[in-house]
Structure 1
Amino acid sequence: MTRSDAELLAAHVAGDSDAFGELFARHRDRLWAVALRTMGNPEEAADGLQDGLIAAFRRADSFRGEAQVTTWLHRVVVNACLDRLRANKVRAAGALPDDLDEAGDRGTLTTSEAGPGPEEAAEAHDVRRAVLRALDTLPVEQRAALILVDMQGYPVAEAAAILGCAVGTVKSRCARGRARLAPLLGVLREPDEASDTPGNPPGTGDVSSGDRPRGPPAVSP
């Protein structure tokens, strides 16, 4: 019988040595995707994810059930990544990796199901890199809100629970972040282009590829 997230976390607190690993494996891809987009490169993302998992492993008995276990896990990982960004002043100045994209239809910065041709794929790749570099210029709180809402597709209420702030705060951070991104990304827009995809910052269009990330490195608490 498959145990729920809450049952796995409770079992871990009770001393089950396998429960936390099973819980992490269940949510590994999404936790990695959030860490990777937040940190901007795989090395820093692996460190941020590791920090978050160690914190969750050690503080599991502090979980009181006010939110879903997956929301709590995301909150711990995101906070660990933001702490690392603040401490190290990471702005990902180097080349961005190709595996920053997560498949699917989540969020507003995604592609359609149809596969692009070579020219379209190359253009989308350049645009995607520009968007991710522009994200690096934002304050970490605005960046985290935009990543969760616009790139990962979380509802605003769930993003607020993950970030530990009010819904209105997330909306405000997203609005200010989009406003800051608009002039940085406007150069990507053709002068005669009528409109962008609804909900996207001007000039972003559809920027994420349909390829799944290669996934996180092995991480253990």
Structure 2
Amino acid sequence: MTPPSPSDAELLAAHRAGDRTAFGRLVSRHERRLWSVAVRALGNPVDAEDAVQEALIAAFRGARTFRGDAAVSTWLHRIVVNACIDRMRHDRSRRTVPMPDTEPAAPRRSDPAAELTTRMAIDEALAALSVEHRLAVVLVDMEGWSVADAAQILDVRPGTVKSRCARGRAKLAVLLGHLREEAG
């Protein structure tokens, strides 16, 4: 019988105690979701990779500052969100072309060209949202975080997350209304 895998908190504690493999094992558990948040927030896989790499370096170096007030996964997502915000502020004048998700797609029966066009329209609409609204919508609606967890990640109150999601969704509805008309 194999022993149970160590928890995230145990891996972080082992890293802090000098275990050279613990942080890598911790990252391997969360890297896909961290990258997914970053690519949806930034709209560009290359920028997302850079932001996640910067965030993980910061987490590796700053592991001793983790107080345990939140889950380790929430702490990692917070660092990634901060890296994304920094990158968005730094690159505000630079325009990028949104790329489609690179996650493997399930077999589909619909038109791939139409799906790509829809995905690009969604990415463009997300990019039109303010940083605050985009991050709230990405975390809650696209990544499935609870409002409470998203509030911890964004370091705001839950009511603020709800408000930002509502405003972001309203703007997305306007920006993407043409998709509903085309489908109907």
1:125 aligns with 2:125: no
In structure 2, the partner of 1:84 is 87
Q: Does structure 2 retain, via aligned residues, the 8 Å contact 1:91–1:136?
A: no
Which ranges of structure 1 fall in alignment gaps of 5 or more residues? Answer: 104-112, 194-221
5 Å matches for 1:129-208?
129-190=120-181, 193=184
Name which structure has the greater RCO, CA cutoff 8 Å, separation 6+. Answer: 1
Show CA shifts across 1:119-141 (max 9, x none): 3x432321121011110011111
Q: Does structure 2 retain, via aligned residues, the 8 Å contact 1:5–1:69?
A: yes
Cα RMSD, aligned residues only? 2.0
In structure 2, the partner of 1:116 is 108
Residue identity (%):
55
Matched positions, count: 181
In structure 1, the partner of 2:22 is 19
Larger relative helix fraction: 2
1:42 aligns with 2:45: yes
Deviation at 1:93, TM superposition (A): 2.9
- Counterpart CA distance in 2 for 1:49 and 1:191 is 36
Show CA shifts across 1:59-92 (max 9, x none): 1111111111111111111111111111211675
Show CA shifts across 1:128-158 (max 9, x none): 2101111001111111100011111111111
With the length of structure 2 as denominator, give the TM-score of the two structures. 0.89
95 and 136 in structure 1: CA distance in 2 versus 1, 3 angstrom threshold? closer
Q: Does structure 1 retain, via aligned residues, the 8 Å contact 2:45–2:99?
A: no
With the length of structure 1 as denominator, give the TM-score of the two structures. 0.75
AA at the equivalent of 2:72: V
What SS class does the counterpart of residue 144 from structure 2 fall into? Answer: coil
Which ranges of structure 2 fall in alignment gaps of 5 or more residues? Answer: none
In structure 2, the partner of 1:214 is none
Q: Does structure 2 retain, via aligned residues, the 8 Å contact 1:39–1:85?
A: yes
- Counterpart CA distance in 2 for 1:166 and 1:28 is 26
- Counterpart CA distance in 2 for 1:132 and 1:191 is 18
192 and 123 in structure 1: CA distance in 2 versus 1, 3 angstrom threshold? closer
Q: Does structure 2 retain, via aligned residues, the 8 Å contact 1:9–1:20?
A: yes
Q: Does structure 2 retain, via aligned residues, the 8 Å contact 1:40–1:92?
A: no
175 and 123 in structure 1: CA distance in 2 versus 1, 3 angstrom threshold? same
143 and 102 in structure 1: CA distance in 2 versus 1, 3 angstrom threshold? farther
AA at the equivalent of 2:61: R
